[in-house]
Structure 1
Amino acid sequence: MRWGILGAARIAASALIPALRANRSDIVAVACRDAARGAAFAATHHIPEAVDYDALIARDDIDVIYNALPNHAHLPWTLTALQHGKHVLCEKPLALSAGEVEQMRDASRASGRLVLEAFMYRFHPQFDRLCELVASGALGPLKWMRGSFTYALRDMTDCRWDPALGGGALYDLGCYPLSLMRSLAGVEPVVLSVASRLTEPGLYGGSVDHAAHAVLRFDTAAGPVLGHFDAAFSLPWHCQFELLCEHGLLRLPIPFATKGVETVLQVGEQTERFAICDPYATMVGHFEAAVRGECALRFGLDESLGQARAMDALLAGAHATDALNTSHERPPSAIIAP
């Protein structure tokens, strides 16, 4: 496959370029708003050309676009790529609302081109094993799920602080435990409550949720399952996921940031170990195989639509709860841990 990278992003440099090269894919060009930055990125990563967004998508020698742009740019540039006959691997969250995902789904169907939301954690073997254990009922019916994904984002110029660019901790981090819970429960959640903290509106002309705690209910065939998770980029690093079944506990100490590390799955008193791997490379390989028609896409846009609908409900709760119960806060001194 011949790829174009849309956006000279850190995630492209650290994860997708190595994944593409592991699959022996061709990286034809990178696009960047800043010509000098794009040229430097291309030189550093041995990419033949740096061009602007429109030129990248219009090229005939590119089959697939990797959309690494900030969240607000996922919809317009994914639609443009599809209109030009390109397949798209797009960073998470795929879009900023369920309505935007519906637009992508319609455009994908009309163009006959595929779109995949780049949740790389789903391509690590521990994800499949966890899903297998829950589905098998080996430890009895699933009753409860808990996840956490937090870190301290100290760079106040980062796009995650900007509401106009689709910032916020739920979009950036909460999407991960939400996605995993939905996969394990097999049904869509009911949002019971969201407790959030928002930034002061003055920083970028609006507020984003820098921390949130959500409580969800999944009404499965075996009975209701409670899920709750924390997401924040104003707290120290903490990332884990665990489940209580009727007869035992399942726990992933490293649920999401799984590239290049040995991971384990705790199954009751037993521990299963997984060799070091690169889930980004596996994701790229799967997407290319689906593009070639060798397999069905494991996670299609209907799945992404369910995710977006749940995110819409979480964000509505986050902003409503903050407006009622908390004061806005001025970053970074008030909320960034030392």
Structure 2
Amino acid sequence: MKLPYCAVEQRFLLDRYVEGTCPICSDPGARGDQCDNCGNVLDPVDLKDRRCKFDGSTPEIRESEHFFLRLSAYGHELKQWLSADKGHWRKNVLNFSRGVLQQGLQDRAITRDLEWGIPIPLPGYESKRIYVWFENVIGYLSAAKEWAQRIGQPERWRDFWQDPSCKSYYFIGKDNIFFHALSWPAQLMGYSEATRETFNLPYDVPANQYQTVRGSKASTSRRLAVWVPDYLSRYDPDPLRYYLSLNMPETSDADFSWADFVRRNNDELVATWGNLVNRVLTFTYRNFQGAVPSPAEMTAADSALLSRTEQAIAQAGENIGLCRFLAGLESAMAVAREANRYVEGNAPWNLV
């Protein structure tokens, strides 16, 4: 296969060490393995204006022998799988995956010329290593097998991987959709053929779009991120959980803003949920010795609020189960707002 070679560094370059212009969307910041702008998986030799990430030189293209995953052999099976019972999948994940299949799956090299990594267990290939995109997803299965071995029940991994009632969810970013919705299922299909055993394919791949910070994609390498140790030195975890759930990029990119974080925490989480919890618990503690009192006869308004609360709890649980976290949170906050209005309207402090 053809691979980029840096004459300055005197080595073949990993896909991510080659940068250039995407041949599909023309974004100038594409990498050799993928374009973050359009999400397409790329081949480094197809990049326009290729340059080495280390020294900016133009890589040569040289031949090197490698092993491939024959993804093209599983196109039909993947199409059938992605067409059946996927109503709970996010549209962006399905549209991207089906779009790749429509274009035709290309076989992908699973080895590279490296000095580190998992070696090829075959003589004559001592300089080759298994490439990370292929072996890292295998860790989902191998970790379960390792766990089963460690607890002295070597067959327990089958509870997760071969019991049809077990559902696996893969929470990832949109730049990993290809590897979890296409490549990993194909690997499992191939493993099933080789072992004549059945393995559970992903039940859901709820991939988020990008979380941006100040309008740019969050990046730890560029120090553009929210650092948890720094955050916890100033705030409690729950406000961040609330804001990230509310601002989650489920269907489109979402920007993190400290000003918006503070505003929504104060104006919504504290003012709505915190206010409701505080006033009800404080009132109960002061007037009923901290115990929930026996209710009087329910009015129509009382029964209606209780009914809507039960519905909201059920809706929140259903949405969370479908990985629609924003919708689940909105159900909970809507009934909290209604409960606050109920407390204000009934003024129980005037009744005791």
Same fold (TM over 0.5): no
- Rg larger for: 2
Structure with more of its chain in helix, by fraction: 2
Q: TM-score, normalised by structure 2?
A: 0.25
Q: TM-score, normalised by structure 1?
A: 0.26
Structure with more of its chain in strand, by fraction: 1
